[in-house]
Amino acid sequence: MARKKLVKGKKEKVGYVTKKCPECYAYVKIEAEVCPYCKTKIGHVGSHGMAIRKVDWKSYLTFAVALIALGVYIWWAFLRG
């Protein structure tokens, strides 16, 4: 009687003690939420031990507002009438 063990492509989530900062590639503690070297907000460890970059909505919003303001300025300065 042969016992067949089906091995699925299961990804091991535990095992890491450090993760890599996606910004400066420094090794930081697995539980760190902010890189101590470049102050980038980092999430949990992703593939290849690299930390996932956290989405900073505040800076995205600031960027979007700045872009819209620039667009309005260009329209106002060059494309009016």
**CA 40 – CA 64 distance, rounded (Å):** 20
* 37 vs 73, beta carbon nearer Zn ion: 37
Query: By C-beta, is 12 or 47 nearer to Zn ion?
Result: 47
Nearest-10 Cα torsion for 54, 57, 59, 63: 130
Q: How far is the CB of 74 from Zn ion (least distance, A)?
A: 35
Q: Taking the complex as a whole, how short is the minimal distance between the CB of residue 72 and Zn ion, in angstroms?
A: 35
Q: How far is the CB of 25 from Zn ion (least distance, A)?
A: 7
Q: Which residues bind Zn ion (CB under 5 A)?
A: 21, 23-24, 35, 37-38, 40
Between the CA of residue 78 and those of 13, 25, 54, 65, 73, what are the distances in Å? 55, 44, 38, 20, 8
Nearer CB in complex with Zn ion: 59/81: 59
